Amino acid sequence: MIVLFVIIGLLSAPAFSNGSSKEPSDLQLIAEDFQILARVTNAIALQADAIRGQLNARDAIAEFLSIEKHDLDGIIGFDPQPFIPYLQKVEEDIKNFENSDKTWMEEIKNFENISMEFEAWKNADVNLSTPTSLPGDFLASLQNLIESDEAKDTSCKTTVLSPLVSFLKLGEKSEYSFEEKYILGPALTFIQKQPDAYVNCIQLIIKVQEALNTSLVFQLYEDYIRMKEVISNVPTTLEEMKSKIANLKAGLTTSSFMWNSVTGNTSGKPMSEQISRALDAHILHSKRLDPPLAGLTVAFFRAADLLKVADDLKSPWFQKHIARGASVQNLTHALEPFNQLAKDIQLLGKPWQEFNRLDDDHRTKYKKVVAHLKYLEGYTLESLQSFAQLVDSVNSSFHNCVQKRNATFMNIYQKLQEQQNVTEELMKNFADFRERSSKFVTDHLVRSDDQAIDSYHCFNKLRIDESENLMDISSAVDLMSKMKKDFSECLEQYGNKADMLQVFLSFESVRNNMEEQYSLIQRFNSITGGAKVNVTEVLNASGVETSLKCLRDGPYKLEKFDDLKEVNKFLGTLNDIPRPIEDSEPVDNPVLALNGSRLIAENMAVCALSLWDLVMIRENRNELSTVGNFDDKTKNDLSQQGLGEFMEPEIAMKKLLGEVEAINIDAKTLRAKSLLDMAQIFEEVAKIRGILGRREILWKMLKKPEYANNPGGDTKKLQLLVELNLDFQTYESRTKDGVFTVKALISYFDQIFGHVVKPPTATVIIEKTSHYSLFVIVGGAIAICLVVFIAVIDDVNALLDATRETNKTNLVIALKKGAYVNAYNTSGNTALHFLTKFGRYDMALELVKNGADRTLLNYKNLTPEEMIPKDYKSLPPPEDPSSELAPKYEELAKMYKKYANKKFKQRVPEAFPSTSFRIWYEDRTDEDLSNKFYEKFSSITSTELTVSTTHCIVKTDERGVLVTDDINLLIPIFHGMIIVRESWMADCLKDEKVIEEDARYLVGTVKYKGVEYNTVQMWTNAIAKAEMPFLFNVGARPYLHANLGPLFLFHDGSKDLLQYKTELFSHFTEEQLIVFLLKREINRDTRKNPPDVSNFGYLERG
């Protein structure tokens, strides 16, 4: 039975429509024509891969869902079915439990409130053993402050200010009573006798303020209070919790059935972990604009397109250009499993849409439920104890840990409290004084520009000359008015326009605060005769630290278990995705006749996709023509994001629209011609450059508030650039091969529809693998077709191709261009081996004269000369005299003898110019650096890794080692691509000439799963020189690995392979294969003509 994996999902690609009732353009019509060919070819490739067992289901699923494969693995990487009945039971039990005992549920909530308070203490960042400051530090600091000269200075007495304040209050009146007039004289006399008292008082206030500002007493007081609160509050809280926990056991009887259902989950990994992984994967998926370009399913823009294949085979266009009168019945029958699958997939649209529409609110809700489940699983699955045991454990912990307060503690704590009452008043007074004095100084003693000055000398204006007659009422009133005027004018010079009375009222308030301070200091010093209570002593007596340490790791907190129905709904959605089904296929199947089906299908679909992108551009040409250039801010933002070509796209846009219109005109002519002529349109598409830049970066930029909140203007135009693909460099390599791809498909369809007879061939055709996965064939060996950059035309080695076709003209052309003359073909022979075997003296002579090595051994350990049969003279004559080999072998023998001691110089290969580079950089490279490099070298750089890629830029460690566990980053190594360090990009941006110096930046070592392998350049050199393939083809011995069993068997480790545990087989899992390739160890069987493992005809190869 062949396993046919069900491919599920709904493509999120935009629907292609002309958006109006107008007749479709010629460009759209030709795109629809080639889309028919692309869909049929894609269906054939998928069906063929399924039959061969080479269909990677997850890759296909990811492409259908337009999602990264890694994200998809997280979303559907587990079977939710076992969880659903478990959740339904828990949900039902909880609902019944809540209805049965509302009172006890309130007890649980009360306990949770208390436990939250305890949690705050438990997780507090105060280390009771080593607090920020010792409790004694505060008391010492406070004592030092009290004992300072400033604090003990009582010279600024109340009697200093009271007379003047009373005097100023009288000055506010226009008329005075007899009594008021009577006190003016004595008041002024008092002021006259203490001329420096006000200045001295102000200086003292400033000194006390500075002393408080520089003291650590306030900072230390916070630690002091924090410690006191611990001592005071924690024991009370713990006692309350101890009491509540004891009451919890009363409700266990009514709740036991619920906990039994919780512990019934036996589905393997915790449910919370698996749901959380799915949600995390969905979040990553939501942060991407587009997934990588599809390879397996690229021809199907949406799930409904799968249904079109059956009709495509019957369409007039397919009948005219492809079937050409032949019956399509056999092909339709061969694709029946695919067509059935296409119908099944349509039913899966709704569940995927529901999941794909998850927004942040839904994800937050699911995350909350996952957190509850995680606690639930932690209490049940990990600790393996029932809920009753949990409560018993908590109750026991509290019983053992919580200590009662004894008489010693109560006595010392009472003293601490008495001390604290005065301390608290004193600290409050200090704080008030600091605030009031600061306001007094700021308001009245500094300039308005905040530059401090000694402006209190204005108070010298209050001096009264001794000659003044202060007992004369009229003179006293005049003198008072003059003092106020002089004082106010003095202050005003420094920007202070306050009334004199307001200044002295503020002055008096500060002084009264200081007077209160003196009194509190005396009270503080009188407590216990000056011996203060140490908080550390109280802490030790309280037992708090011991209790908290005892409870530090104890279980104490319950979790709510509601909202489970949300998870149940979520898992139900995932459960709608079906699992693999089995199907069988006959061996004789027309879909298997397409060699390289996957690559050809991918190329054809990408070519068709490029046409559809042009269609969308043409349909939006009116909007695109008005985009124009952007304002300076937008240009700056685009430049910072590495989107330089988007800054001023007006000229490039006009050029692109003109090119699209020209292709539309060409399409009208080409549609009337043959299919091969129609394919010429792809050569025109390949010439289009478009506007380069990663749309995903632009998409993320538009999510920023300055654009998201302003949908008009530049944002609207930029949004249009996000919605349409304008970068056609992505398609360049595929569209250049468009004619070749169509030609290959014509040959295939002509063969299966009987238009031509299949020609015999002795050459094994090797498929080019895509970059998505290693191409392995279970039961035989494997072939990895690696890209050769030198002497390659259309991905075919020109010299070996000419040799296979025995085309001397092409061989000579290849040699003159400097093709590597000693290249091995996929069968383990050099061109000279091949030509000698088949008696082509004339072509073999050309190889020898161009330096072909006559000592190289082939897969049979034979030199080229040894390919001449020893008994060639006795070979029976063939029916066709012209095909007789004996005379040809005779000429070859003479040639080898004639030039046995003569050496010929090899031609030097043509230079490999940087213009032929095809550069790709991995995702881990610096994003800003990569964007700038892409912008500067856009003509040779691609965001897509393809078989035509020559250079791969990777992120390395400080030693230049590529560190990765990602198989996708190892594939380029095995393909012989040139692996270079990220620093090459930075240096190229500084000097463009460095692009030619790639050899300076080569990576030689890769670190995979913690092990380093220095074989990177071995792979590159081997492929560049077309050395003998590291692994052999299907059905033959791996001749470079004589130490291993000749048949390589690949498996996933889940099957019983006991019957294959023989010397004939070598077993590999995927991981073992990767390590085997990275080691690149060679063990040749040095015997002449080592035995083959197969005699099925595979060995008669060239």
The label of the residue with tokens 């490029």 reads 610
Q: Classify 627 in phi/psi space as left (phi over 0), alpha (psi -120 to 50) or beta.
A: alpha
Q: What is the pLDDT of residues 402-419, one digit of tens each?
A: 666 677 777 777 777 777
Q: Is the pLDDT of residue 606 over 80?
A: yes
DSSP for 251-292? GHHHHHHHHHHHTT--SSS-HHHHHHHHHHHHHHHHT-S-PS
Instruction: Find which of 50-64, 282-296, 621-635 is predicted with most confidence, using mean pLDDT.
Output: 621-635
Q: What is the mean pLDDT of residues 1058-1081?
A: 81
The pLDDT value recorded for residue 435 is 82
Q: Is the pLDDT of residue 375 over 50?
A: no
Q: Classify 1035 in phi/psi space as left (phi over 0), alpha (psi -120 to 50) or beta.
A: left
State both tokens at 959.
């030693």
Q: What residues have CB less than 8 Å from 858, skipping those under 6 apart? A: 824, 828, 829, 830, 833, 864, 867, 1028
3-state DSSP: the chain helix, strand, coil percent, rounded to 5?
Answer: 60, 5, 35
The pLDDT value recorded for residue 364 is 56
Q: Is the pLDDT of residue 893 over 70?
A: yes
Whether 657 and 624 have beta carbons less than 8 Å apart is answered as yes
As a whole number of angstroms, the distance between CA 628 and CA 944 comes to 29
Q: What is the pLDDT of residues 734-759, one digit of tens each?
A: 888 888 889 889 988 988 888 875 44
The pLDDT value recorded for residue 195 is 64
Q: Mean pLDDT, the chain, as a whole number? A: 71
The pLDDT value recorded for residue 1040 is 79
The label of the residue with tokens 């454990």 reads 393
Q: What is the mean pLDDT of residues 560-575?
A: 39
Whether 766 and 795 have beta carbons less than 8 Å apart is answered as no
The pLDDT value recorded for residue 257 is 43
Whether 37 and 607 have beta carbons less than 8 Å apart is answered as no
As a whole number of angstroms, the distance between CA 208 and CA 430 comes to 10
The bridge status of strand 978-981 relative to strand 951-954 is parallel
Q: What residues have CB less than 8 Å from 57, skipping those under 6 apart? A: 5, 6, 7, 580
The single-letter DSSP state of residue 319 is: I
Q: Is the pLDDT of residue 615 over 90?
A: yes
The percentage of residues in the chain with a pLDDT greater than 70, rounded to a whole number, is 59
Q: What is the pLDDT of residues 94-149, one digit of tens each?
A: 555 445 444 544 555 555 555 555 555 545 444 444 444 444 566 666 767 766 66
Whether 372 and 522 have beta carbons less than 8 Å apart is answered as no
User: How much is the pTM?
Assistant: 0.40
- The sign of the torsion formed by the CA atoms of 179, 181, 186, 191 equals positive
Q: What is the pLDDT of residues 326-346, one digit of tens each?
A: 999 999 988 888 888 777 767
Side-chain half-sphere exposure of 731, counting CA atoms within 13 A: 29
Q: What is the pLDDT of residues 976-1000, one digit of tens each?
A: 899 999 999 999 999 988 998 888 8
Q: What is the pLDDT of residues 917-954, one digit of tens each?
A: 889 999 899 888 998 998 888 878 888 887 778 899 99
Q: Length of the chain in residues, anyone?
A: 1102
Q: What is the pLDDT of residues 683-715, one digit of tens each?
A: 999 999 888 877 778 888 888 888 877 777 788
Q: Is the pLDDT of residue 86 over 70?
A: no
Where residue 617 falls among pLDDT bands split at 50, 70, 90? Answer: very high
**CA 286 to chain CA centroid, nearest Å:** 11
Bigger pLDDT: 876 or 38?
38
Of 273-282, 385-394, 755-764, 868-877, minimum mean pLDDT range: 755-764
Q: What is the mean pLDDT of residues 822-840?
A: 88
Whether 36 and 325 have beta carbons less than 8 Å apart is answered as no
Domains and CATH numbers, the chain: 2-66+290-348+582-743 (no CATH), 109-257+359-570 (no CATH), 792-898 (1.25.40.20), 912-1023 (3.40.50.10190)
The percentage of residues in the chain with a pLDDT greater than 90, rounded to a whole number, is 13
Q: Is the pLDDT of residue 381 over 70?
A: no
Q: Is the pLDDT of residue 91 over 80?
A: no
Q: What is the pLDDT of residues 578-589, one digit of tens each?
A: 333 233 344 457
Whether 506 and 445 have beta carbons less than 8 Å apart is answered as no
